[in-house]
Structure 1
């Protein structure tokens, strides 16, 4: 090959490399804010202070935002309930700390998490159950759930968007310790898993429990059964199904553009060099 041909090929290769590099820079700049925007807000709500009490059942569970630290004073033997919202693509972690009285026997504490259908959700990892020794001043528990999915098969037990309940209690409590005062702290944080957990499907409505109540002044049966009281009014800061956008869309577009650039570059490198006939 002549020096002119080699120079022309090197020039075409350089142009292809520059084009691919420019495309990657543009896509990287576009992907960075998109991925950042898909991250859920972990800051507590500005509407009110953190809760200072806990419910005693599912129906009376105290609502708490993600990122908020809820506290409660109770007695050994009580069942303490809190509720929080979790949306698709989030992996919630529940952390609980129980401060014990100066004199107490060894006791086992346990934190359980239930979804909106009151199905107990398994912990992916974390110390869900711990035994506090007699001289222990406190005990710390944690439970990291599986990633919340936007949709699942009816027979599956996957976490779905909606209200989740935290139950904190003692297991195998001795009679001498029954009624001793304790204080508890609970906080829920989530990690945004992103497009790796995205699925093709979504629920029509999040799993937020509600009960049918009679309408005031209703004469017919349809009117008396038409009102529903929502047991949990708390929801994510940017609304339900906020995870419809994920980085999977970005990287799918990146793959398509790279494939197009590779095709153009391959054609430029392999096509024959036209030679003008000498007059």
Structure 2
């Protein structure tokens, strides 16, 4: 019983991991530009800070990979000009099918009062699933797009220079989010047009993938929970039999003389 409970504790450990990893995977210089559309989105790794300079009214795009069992969080900071009117900034996240994904929580849209030096935004997505119904809008493994822009900007502020910084991180939810199914391929633009040998390299429109490769449909700690549940049930059955055996035997009373 002690060994079984210890194994259950180890299986649950990934779900309690720090949701905001402090280590950055910046192998080299961080990207210093952003795309202007889905097709030209700048690719970033999870945990990598990216910066870009633009103008108020522009659409800024980045993309990053997210895999099964991850709960991505996107953060953005916009440094505004010294003098400006009231503005509203918004960050949106789209999946590989360019479906806008809803934020569980976070300041996805924020208003900046006149002459405010900066504005910060955040979007915590739902957990990425390995499989979903065709009609559902669940997050699926693949490429995710970040779009940052200002809405409701006065004409006088259009074109003013701004500096933006974005970062995407994920919390590993583990087997708690496992489902009975998986996609044939992750939702990476262009991957379906490549052969199996070519898929190991960059896809047509998005070349980044998780550090350990795509894990959709592979083993998860859900199997540990299921197996240990069966072991505990068997132990409980043996213990119950040991406690109750013989209780139902009839008591023989010797005949009186």
TM-score (norm: length of structure 1): 0.77
User: What is the match of residue 117 of structure 2?
Assistant: 137
**Which of 218, 234, 238 in structure 2 is aligned with 1:244?**
218
Q: How does 1:27-106 map to 2 (within 5 A)?
A: 27-31=4-8, 33-34=10-11, 43-45=23-25, 47-106=27-86
Q: Does the alignment pair 1:150 with 2:150?
A: no
Separation in 2 of the partners of 1:248 and 1:72? 41
Three-state SS of the structure 2 residue aligned to 1:230 is: coil
Residue 72 of structure 2 contacts residue 170 of structure 2 at CA under 8 Å; is this kept in 1?
yes
Return 26-35 or 257-266, whichever deviates more. Answer: 26-35
Separation in 2 of the partners of 1:46 and 1:128? 25
* 84 and 76 in structure 1: CA distance in 2 versus 1, 3 angstrom threshold: same
Residue 11 of structure 2 contacts residue 225 of structure 2 at CA under 8 Å; is this kept in 1?
no
Separation in 2 of the partners of 1:240 and 1:74? 33
Residue 98 of structure 1 contacts residue 140 of structure 1 at CA under 8 Å; is this kept in 2?
yes
User: What is the match of residue 3 of structure 2?
Assistant: 26
Return 32-41 or 231-240, whichever deviates more. Answer: 32-41
Matched residue count: 237
Between structures 1 and 2, the one with greater helix share? 1
Structure of larger gyration radius: 1
Residue 14 of structure 2 contacts residue 172 of structure 2 at CA under 8 Å; is this kept in 1?
no
User: What is the match of residue 96 of structure 2?
Assistant: 116
Q: Return 5+ residue gaps in structure 1 as ranges.
A: 1-22, 214-227, 275-279
* 260 and 94 in structure 1: CA distance in 2 versus 1, 3 angstrom threshold: same
Residue 89 of structure 1 contacts residue 243 of structure 1 at CA under 8 Å; is this kept in 2?
no
Separation in 1 of the partners of 2:28 and 2:43? 12
Separation in 1 of the partners of 2:20 and 2:213? 11
User: What is the match of residue 9 of structure 1?
Assistant: none
Q: Does the alignment pair 1:259 with 2:236?
A: no
Residue 96 of structure 1 contacts residue 142 of structure 1 at CA under 8 Å; is this kept in 2?
yes
Separation in 2 of the partners of 1:46 and 1:61? 18
Q: Return 5+ residue gaps in structure 2 as ranges.
A: 194-201, 250-257
* 34 and 211 in structure 1: CA distance in 2 versus 1, 3 angstrom threshold: closer
1:31 deviation in Å? Answer: 4.4
Separation in 1 of the partners of 2:117 and 2:34? 21
User: What is the match of residue 225 of structure 1?
Assistant: none
1:198-243 CA-to-partner distances (Å, cap 9, x unmatched) read 1100000000002899xxxxxxxxxxxxxx9611100001100267
